Amino acid sequence: MDNMEILVTQTIYNFGLLENGDSVLVALSGGPDSVALLHLLYGLKDKYSIKLAAAHLDHGIRKESSKDREFCRQLCRSLDIKFHSKRSNVGVLAAKSKTSLEETGREARYAYLNLLADKYRYDRIATGHTADDNVETVIFNLARGCGLSGLSGIPPKRGRIIRPLIEIRKQDILRWLDAHDIDYRIDKTNRSLRYARNRIRARIVPELERLNRSASENITRLTRNISEEVEFIDSVASKAFKECLLKAGNSKIVLDLGKIKGYDKKLRKKLVVEAYRRLGNGFYRPSLEVLSGAVGVIDRKSGAKSPLGSGIWIEKSKYYLSIFRKGIQRGQVKLKIPGTTKIPSSDLFLKSEVLERREVRKLKTDPAQAFLDRALVAGGTIRFWKSGDRIRPFGMRGRRLLSDVFSDRGVPSSERREIPLLTSKGEIAWIAGIMISDDFKVGPDTKKILSVRLCGRS
């Protein structure tokens, strides 16, 4: 085992990157870092009893990118390693999403790697990030404004993603490749100063090392110290999040406002970031400015809301704090009588059955269950609130706007269009979970009762 393999083995041990028998998917660009990573893991495969595969995403930006793809294919063939590849037009994706080529390429790359890992059940995804990449990331994050997480740099391990070269300098990798006569590809865009990270690599890091020869090593040491602090803070935030979490759906997370108000402002930010991360399904987070404005909603009046980015908003109601994805399109469906009806774009469903009046001795006052006169409910359609909707509340003569009913009940605007409405011939018979209409109530002449129960979580 040579010196480089020893260093990689130490990193694997220090951060628990591999377990015996793991199947590992290597992100292979064809550049020196990823090529070295593949060869090093290949040399260690018997030690850890791991199975290797590699994946290459062609970003479609450079004319010679197809040659990189073929190089990676031939390398994997020579090592008898399974090879996956795909071409993606990152330039078009970046224009549509209005994000940089770097960021778009990164998202596309991780999306592809995770897709393969899910499909083929790879235990680990190994990337070729080095100590130099870590230093550049910290400087980049510092320049654009970041918190402790940004200063902790690139983690050696995040979920199933591992970075065995994260403590090794680029220059050492290049020397190792040359010493072993291992070929690799050079991406000319890595030299272009139009990209921020390239300017950091070519100009800023050398200047820092002129000030102190150990500048990069010192920054690396700093990231490890900060990572320990962040890990502790995250454990506290995770516990707090679980304590105040009321609902967690695909498009909305609801937190207990009363508990949040008792938390320190810094912890409040952590909770909002965690909710944003869960809905956004990614590693990105709102900027400090956006996050400060969003957390400020907690101390404002009920109904206050603020954007968090990527179509995600935060809103305060009387008792809750909702972080939700805006713009969910909801259609309408027929109520199955009897049977189970799935609510569109929701985790909710309705269960209905028809009962004889004599079978029901007492009409329960459970807001999650409605007892209606079956003869008055012709068919039954489930839809959602729209401006101008009215209902005749149970026990009242006049009609009221649903918006007023929602306000009285403290329902935040972000949740109003998620509440199912049972209608019959255009009239609202039941606001699910809130109240029935007096026009559809069970009366002395009722022979059959329609029972509808709201089930599931939103």
Task: Using the predicted structure, report yes or no on whether residue 458 has a pLDDT greater than 50.
Answer: no
**Residue 108: per-residue pLDDT:** 85
* Whether residues 140 and 199 fall in one domain: yes
- Contact call for residues 85 and 69 (beta carbons, < 8 A): yes
* Whether residues 156 and 13 fall in one domain: yes
Looking at the domain assignment, is residue 230 inside a domain?
no
* Whether residues 204 and 261 fall in one domain: no
Average pLDDT for 200-221: 93
| DSSP-assigned beta bridge partners for residue 369 | 453
Report the Cα 284 to chain-centroid distance in Å: 8
Domain that holds residue 361: 333-456
* Whether residues 7 and 135 fall in one domain: yes
Strand order in the sheet with 157-158: 82-87, 51-58, 23-27, 124-126, 161-162, 157-158
* Whether residues 25 and 156 fall in one domain: yes
**Residue 329: per-residue pLDDT:** 55
Look up residue 255 and give its two tokens: 């937190």
Looking at the domain assignment, is residue 125 inside a domain?
yes
**Residue 345: per-residue pLDDT:** 65
Task: Using the predicted structure, report yes or no on whether residue 296 has a pLDDT greater than 60.
Answer: yes
Residue 4's closest CA among 193, 194, 243, 164? 164
Lowest-pLDDT range of 109-123, 125-139, 281-295: 281-295
- Contact call for residues 77 and 83 (beta carbons, < 8 A): yes
Instruction: Name the domain count of the chain.
Output: 3
* Whether residues 320 and 350 fall in one domain: no
Taking the complete model, does pTM exceed 0.85, yes or no? no
Task: Using the predicted structure, report yes or no on whether residue 63 has a pLDDT greater than 90.
Answer: no
Task: Using the predicted structure, report yes or no on whether residue 447 has a pLDDT greater than 70.
Answer: yes
The top-scoring range by mean pLDDT among 2-16, 99-113, 310-324, 361-375 is 2-16
Say which amino acid occupies 164.
P
How would residue 282 be classed by pLDDT, with cut points 50, 70 and 90? low
Q: How far is CA 116 from CA 24, 51, 408, in A?
A: 11, 15, 50
Looking at the domain assignment, is residue 241 inside a domain?
no
* Whether residues 18 and 94 fall in one domain: yes
Task: Using the predicted structure, report yes or no on whether residue 228 has a pLDDT greater than 80.
Answer: yes
* Whether residues 100 and 175 fall in one domain: yes
Task: Using the predicted structure, report yes or no on whether residue 73 has a pLDDT greater than 70.
Answer: yes
Average pLDDT for 296-311: 86
Looking at the domain assignment, is residue 206 inside a domain?
yes
123 backbone dihedrals φ, ψ, rounded to 5°: -75, -35
Mean pLDDT of the chain: 88
Tell me which of 141 and 457 has the higher pLDDT.
141
* Whether residues 157 and 300 fall in one domain: no
* Whether residues 418 and 370 fall in one domain: yes
Average pLDDT for 355-380: 84
Task: Using the predicted structure, report yes or no on whether residue 315 has a pLDDT greater than 70.
Answer: yes
Instruction: Tell me how crowded residue 296 is: count the other CB atoms within 10 A of its CB.
Output: 15
Tell me which of 250 and 129 has the higher pLDDT.
129
Looking at the domain assignment, is residue 160 inside a domain?
yes
Q: Which residue has the tokens 């790697």?
A: 113
**Residue 292: per-residue pLDDT:** 86
Contacts 24+ apart (CB under 8 A), 276-280: 276/308, 276/309, 276/312, 276/323, 278/248, 278/253, 279/251, 279/252, 279/253, 279/312, 279/323, 279/324, 279/325, 280/310, 280/312
Share of the chain above pLDDT 70, in %: 95
* Whether residues 319 and 341 fall in one domain: no
* Whether residues 167 and 256 fall in one domain: no
Looking at the domain assignment, is residue 240 inside a domain?
no
Task: Using the predicted structure, report yes or no on whether residue 330 has a pLDDT greater than 70.
Answer: no
Q: At 375, which CATH number?
A: 3.50.40.10
Task: Using the predicted structure, report yes or no on whether residue 65 has a pLDDT greater than 80.
Answer: no
Looking at 296, 325, 354, the residue that finishes a domain is: 325
**Residue 62: per-residue pLDDT:** 67
Instruction: Tell me how crowded residue 148 is: count the other CB atoms within 10 A of its CB.
Output: 12
